[in-house]
């Protein structure tokens, strides 16, 4: 098996990345226009662009030439936020070096300034408000201000999964909230989501965070509980299994996380349909949290396949 980027299965997204890599703005603009219909569509194409090394050095002059272009601005800001977190690393705040802190803060401040300028021009852009949720979290503006930013975004795009997931992160104990706060929010947004929306699966992100942060044995016991299993099944059926669901790269990431969580809980028969979609070329999603991701995926895949009698 081989892990891939979820976007690798979607050639139109590959065209976006290719155009950004070649610094071809007309081709990038055309490729994005061909596939972006919703804020989540944009988030799915912006993510791989934000991972291109040095792309900010190309995007910044473009924005200077077209300061009212919120598409260029969102791509640049998303890249700066990704770059800031790369400089910070995934270490706990107490373990960061002065160099990491300075690099992180300076880059986020640059993103925040651009956000302020762009939201003055485009106050009804939910993507910009969602990015401001993340910049605010990193800059330590406090939960009340982050919530205000999220509410501005929610008023514009209540079905925006990426925006909700950005606010969900702020509610985890390592930032500003508690697990109870985070789970209550995830359940509330999932319950109110339209049928087929990825937002119906927001509790999945919460349980992945549990696996990331809490002792393995505790999370295994949690995911083995019938009520949690039922919650995951409802999330799957209201999102990726719904006839109303529109398949995007995020679909594969949700399948991957659901397969992993159901496997950890040893609900192998229910994990198998997700593994069948993923096959031997899954996106990494939450598998990077395993000690040996490829080995873990193969073992889970085979265990689910055996129980399902496939």
Distance CA 224, CA 194 (A): 28
Helix, strand, coil shares of the chain, percent, nearest 5, are 75, 0, 25
Residues 26 and 152 in one domain: yes
pLDDT level of residue 100 (50, 70, 90 thresholds): confident
Taking a C-beta distance cutoff of 8 angstroms, is the pair 21, 14 a contact?
no
Residues 128 and 229 in one domain: no
Residues 116 and 182 in one domain: no
Q: What is the mean pLDDT of residues 139-164?
A: 97
Q: Supply φ then ψ for residue 283, to 5 degrees.
A: -75, 155
Residues 104 and 15 in one domain: yes
Q: What pairs with residue 4 in β-bridges? A: 283
Give the total number of structural domains in the chain: 2
Taking a C-beta distance cutoff of 8 angstroms, is the pair 50, 17 a contact?
no
pLDDT level of residue 136 (50, 70, 90 thresholds): very high
pLDDT per residue as tens digits for the range 44-99: 999 999 999 999 999 999 999 999 999 999 999 999 999 999 887 666 667 777 77
User: Could you tell me the maximum CA-CA distance found in the chain, to the nearest angstrom?
Assistant: 60
Here the CATH number for the domain that contains residue 1 is 1.25.40.10
Asked whether residue 242 is assigned to any structural domain, the reply reads: yes
Asked whether residue 172 is assigned to any structural domain, the reply reads: no
Residues 184 and 152 in one domain: no
Residues 184 and 106 in one domain: no
Residues 147 and 192 in one domain: no
- What the block records as the tokens of 40 is 């989540």
Q: Supply φ then ψ for residue 89, to 5 degrees.
A: 75, 175
- pTM comes to 0.93
Q: What is the mean pLDDT of residues 9-19?
A: 93
Distance CA 242, CA 90 (A): 35
Asked whether residue 60 is assigned to any structural domain, the reply reads: yes
Asked whether residue 164 is assigned to any structural domain, the reply reads: no
Q: What is the mean pLDDT of residues 17-26?
A: 96
Residues 19 and 144 in one domain: yes
The residue range of the domain holding 253 is 178-310
Q: What is the mean pLDDT of residues 103-123?
A: 95
Q: Supply φ then ψ for residue 155, to 5 degrees.
A: -65, -30
pLDDT value, residue 92: 65
Residues 13 and 133 in one domain: yes
Asked whether residue 169 is assigned to any structural domain, the reply reads: no
**Mean pLDDT rounded to a whole number for the chain:** 94
Task: Give the dihedral sign, CA 212/144/194/128.
Answer: negative
C-alpha dihedral (51, 69, 120, 125), degrees to nearest 10: -70
């Amino acid at each position: 098996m081989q892990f891939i980027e979820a976007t690798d299965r979607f050639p139109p997204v590959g065209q976006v990345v290719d155009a950004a890599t070649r610094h071809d703005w007309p081709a990038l603009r055309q490729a994005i226009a061909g596939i972006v219909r919703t804020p989540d569509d944009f988030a799915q194409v912006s993510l791989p662009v934000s991972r291109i090394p040095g792309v900010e050095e190309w995007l910044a002059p473009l924005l200077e030439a077209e300061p009212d272009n919120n598409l260029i601005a969102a791509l640049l800001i998303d890249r700066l936020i990704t770059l800031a977190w790369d400089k910070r690393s995934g270490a706990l705040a107490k373990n960061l070096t002065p160099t990491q802190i300075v690099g992180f803060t300076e880059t986020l401040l640059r993103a925040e300034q651009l956000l302020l300028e762009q939201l003055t021009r485009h106050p009804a852009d939910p993507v910009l408000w969602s990015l401001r949720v993340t910049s605010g979290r990193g800059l330590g503006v406090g939960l009340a201000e982050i919530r205000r930013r999220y509410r501005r975004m929610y008023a514009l795009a209540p079905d925006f999964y990426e925006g909700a997931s950005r606010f969900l992160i702020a509610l985890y104990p390592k930032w500003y909230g508690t697990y109870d706060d985070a789970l209550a929010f995830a359940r509330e947004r999932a319950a109110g989501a339209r049928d087929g929306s990825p937002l119906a699966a927001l509790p999945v992100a919460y349980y992945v965070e549990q696996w990331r942060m809490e002792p393995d044995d505790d999370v295994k016991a949690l995911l083995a509980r019938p009520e949690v299993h039922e919650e995951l099944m409802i999330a799957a059926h209201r999102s990726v299994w719904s006839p109303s669901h529109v398949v995007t790269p995020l679909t594969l990431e949700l399948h991957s996380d659901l397969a992993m969580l159901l496997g950890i809980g040893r609900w192998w028969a229910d994990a198998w349909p997700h593994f069948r979609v993923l096959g031997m070329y899954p996106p990494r999603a939450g598998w990077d949290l395993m000690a040996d991701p490829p080995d873990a995926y193969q073992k889970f895949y085979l265990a689910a396949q055996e129980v399902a009698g496939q």
